[in-house]
Amino acid sequence: MRAARAQNVPRWLSPGLALAAVIVLWPGQGRAQVARDWLPDATTMKRAWALHPLHAAARQQQQAALAGLDQARAGQAEWSTGLVATRHRYADPGVSPGADWELQLERPWRSDARAGAAITAAQRQQAVSEADTRAQTRRWARERLAELIAWQDEVRTADAQARLLANLAEQHRALEARQRAGDAARLELDLSLAALAQARAAAEGSADRALERRRALERQLGPVSSWGQSPDLDVSPTADTPAPESPELTLSRAIAESARAQARRERADQAPEPVVGVRLSRLAGAREGTVSLSLTLPWPGPGRDAGVRAALARADAADAQARAVAQQAHAEALARQALVQRNEREAARQREAATHLEAVAEATARGVALGEGRLADSLAARRLAQDQVLARIRADSALEASRLGLRLEADQLWPGLEDAP
């Protein structure tokens, strides 16, 4: 009879096997229990960012801006050469044919004001390129931090599900012992098996999700085993967290300054460039040649005035956009600080509730093992406690995300990431 009952019990009921089956689904899950040793260091992040296509694109944009600055310094004024030859034929046969020729050299004259405005505009555009690189780097870092937090959330969830599975398996063994002693109904054993199957599905699903998130991170950052460990960070509520200017605000201000510099360049270009020239000529039949200087003044058209007005309007729009970004950045900085405080209160509440519910679940489980309680009540208490444990994990993850987010925005999480080669 005992052998027959053993055949009806799934092999995964052994708590050791059940827990091991969950743990081996993702390597290194125990790292989540150690404070932030799952967080890569700045060197790891720099190496990953340097290999990212967006980083390569940003660097090429900076090279383009540098080339534009060289172009502005050199200017576009170039010498032009012209040669005019004229052959004369006369109706009078007594007059020999002759030829005139003229060599022309001309070049636009670039004023110091025009050159200075062009160079300043190119320098401001270079600053925009550098600020855009920093903004792209920060966006990439925020995405990776969110993925790291989500990974650890899944790891902790899978660990909690594995512990529930082990507890239910232990409870099922106690029920088996009671049934063999004639102190437990078969229905209770079936109910325990159903609870185990549900817990096993939840545990394996959480472990699969944790493994997938880890693999996604390794595609971005390399194998976890190659990550350097991030140093300990002070993320206590009293930590003095500076609030430097955000990369988005720096970029918007650089764009505004570039637009204003471009408007000054348009104004400097409002007066057309004069063209100076030298001409060497010799007339047919003459022994002497002539050297002459020329000055050509183009007439400015209404298009130049319209270009200045358009550039000024774009500069005003960029200034307004920069002010809007500054207001938004200030509001977001205050919101981040408030979010940390709110998440701290929420995490404390969820931890306290989880502690109480876990104590109740353990007490009801001991009662069932001793034959002093109903299995249905114990399973209900387990479900309530597990739901609260998962809520506590989510609250802890939200708190950690908000605290680390503050450090990221202060350039203290991965310092110098924007300087990746």
Give the CA distances from residue 79 to residues 84, 107, 277, 356, 396, in Å, rounded to whole numbers and listed in that order. Answer: 17, 5, 9, 87, 70
Distance CA 207, CA 20 (A): 11
In percent, how much of the chain has pLDDT > 70?
A: 84
- Judge whether residue 87 has pLDDT over 80: no
- pLDDT-based confidence at residue 378 (cuts at 50, 70, 90): confident
Q: Where are the domains of the chain?
A: 13-419
pLDDT averaged over every residue in the chain = 83
- Judge whether residue 16 has pLDDT over 90: no
- Judge whether residue 73 has pLDDT over 60: yes
Mean pLDDT for the stretch of residues 45-68:
92
- 359-382: buried (b, 16+ CB within 10 Å) or exposed (e) per residue? eebeebbebbbeeebebeebbebb
Look up residue 97 and give its two tokens: 């044919």
- pLDDT-based confidence at residue 297 (cuts at 50, 70, 90): confident
- pLDDT-based confidence at residue 290 (cuts at 50, 70, 90): confident
- Judge whether residue 96 has pLDDT over 70: no
Mean pLDDT for the stretch of residues 387-409:
94
Distance CA 98, CA 193 (A): 117
Helices 186-221, 112-180: axis angle to 10 degrees equals: 160
- pLDDT-based confidence at residue 95 (cuts at 50, 70, 90): low
pLDDT value at position 287? 66
- pLDDT-based confidence at residue 286 (cuts at 50, 70, 90): low
pLDDT value at position 233? 61
pLDDT (tens digit, 9 = 90+) per residue, 143-191? 999 999 999 999 999 999 999 999 889 888 887 887 787 776 788 888 8
- Judge whether residue 212 has pLDDT over 80: yes
- Judge whether residue 307 has pLDDT over 70: yes
Mean pLDDT for the stretch of residues 390-411:
93
Maximal C-alpha separation, the chain: 146
Structural contact between residues 50 and 420, judged by C-beta atoms closer than 8 angstroms: yes
pLDDT (tens digit, 9 = 90+) per residue, 330-372? 999 999 999 999 999 999 999 999 999 999 999 988 888 787 7
Cα angle for residues 153, 157, 159 (degrees, 5° grid) = 120
pLDDT value at position 13? 45
pLDDT value at position 404? 93
Structural contact between residues 401 and 151, judged by C-beta atoms closer than 8 angstroms: no
pLDDT (tens digit, 9 = 90+) per residue, 214-225? 999 999 999 998
- Judge whether residue 275 has pLDDT over 70: yes
In percent, how much of the chain has pLDDT > 90?
A: 49
The CATH code of domain 13-419 reads 1.20.1600.10
pLDDT value at position 119? 92
Q: Which of 65, 183, 172 is nearest to 128 (CA)?
A: 65
- Judge whether residue 267 has pLDDT over 60: yes
pLDDT value at position 36? 62
- Judge whether residue 402 has pLDDT over 50: yes
- pLDDT-based confidence at residue 6 (cuts at 50, 70, 90): very low
Look up residue 101 and give its two tokens: 């020729």
Distance CA 147, CA 221 (A): 11
- Judge whether residue 237 has pLDDT over 90: no
